[in-house]
Amino acid sequence: MSNLDLNAFRQFEHDGWQQIAARYHAGFAAVTTQSITALLDAARVTQGTRVLDVACGPGYVASAATARGAVATGIDFSSEMVEEACGRHPGIDFREGDAEALPFLDSSFDAIVTNFGMLHFGRPEKALEEGHRVLRPGGRIAFTVWDTPDKARGFGIVLGAIQRNGNLNVPIAPGPPFFRFSDPEESRRVLTAAGFVNIAVTHITQTWLLPSPDALFDVMYHGSVRNAALLRAQKPDILEKIRDEIRAEVERMGNELPMPSVLASGTVANSGSDV
């Protein structure tokens, strides 16, 4: 992975999120919000917990944490996303900032949560190191990522259609593998390497109920970053074939797709114990 231009990848992701902040909500909220309860439980977020929602997007997790009585802060590197979050959840502290260089002092939080952010970071290990730094001893981190495309069918259908009809090797800024942390062992390994203990990795059942057979293509094309770039790089006639195949597959599945995720969590060791 060391030969990747991670600055170019970061720029690519940042430009993408700046452009789709409003559309992301319309496309993905219905499915990304389904993991929030399990994510907050894994990070042990309750009344009074100081929790940081990293890569907060439109602020769903920070808002749910606030509803539990926690003191939530949200951070995202896209100013457009931060604006979206502030507009949707007035009264919550949302700020612009990078997961890989958190603008907070050491030991500032009791919990950190990242819902579908890790797969977008160029340097996810750095994000975990930063999480470890700003958590207090005994504090807990939890993140979700999508399960592999054979299980999270929204991705499997789109990537399969591109592979069969077009080309997955198109010139977009290369980044770390999108499904890297879908492997529970890899999630466990990076959490351990960042210094976390009491690591748990589980699966969450999620289902994407799409409003129409065309919705999957439309959401990926207009409301995502890497998958949209893959689609946009296909030739127009090929793109039509890809769209037809995606539509037919979604129709075959009754507009309802399994979209499980992987939830990983760990604790910052207390000095002398590993609570």
Ligand X SMILES: C[S@@+](CC[C@H](N)C(=O)[O-])C[C@H]1O[C@@H](n2cnc3c(N)ncnc32)[C@H](O)[C@@H]1O
For ligand X, give the closer residue by CB, 61 or 219: 61
DSSP 265: E
Contact in structure between 266 and 198 (CB atoms under 8 Å): yes
User: What is the spatial distance between Cα 223 and Cα 140, in angstroms, rounded to a whole number?
Assistant: 31
Residue that is written with structure tokens 């977020």 in the block:
45
DSSP 173: -
CB of 1 to ligand X, least distance (A): 16
User: What are the C-alpha distances in Å from 50 to residues 73, 96, 108, 112, 161?
Assistant: 8, 18, 8, 9, 43
CB of 32 to ligand X, least distance (A): 4
For ligand X, give the closer residue by CB, 63 or 165: 63
CB of 81 to ligand X, least distance (A): 4
The identity of residue 145, as a single letter, is V
For ligand X, give the closer residue by CB, 93 or 238: 93
For ligand X, give the closer residue by CB, 117 or 156: 117
What does DSSP say about strands 135-146 and 109-115: parallel, antiparallel, or unpaired? parallel
CA dihedral sign, ordered 220, 225, 227, 230: positive
Determine the residue with CB nearest ligand X.
Answer: 57
CB of 251 to ligand X, least distance (A): 26
* Interface residue list for ligand X (CB under 6 A): 13, 17, 28, 32, 55-57, 60-61, 76-78, 81, 98-100, 115-117, 120-121
For ligand X, give the closer residue by CB, 60 or 196: 60
CB of 117 to ligand X, least distance (A): 4
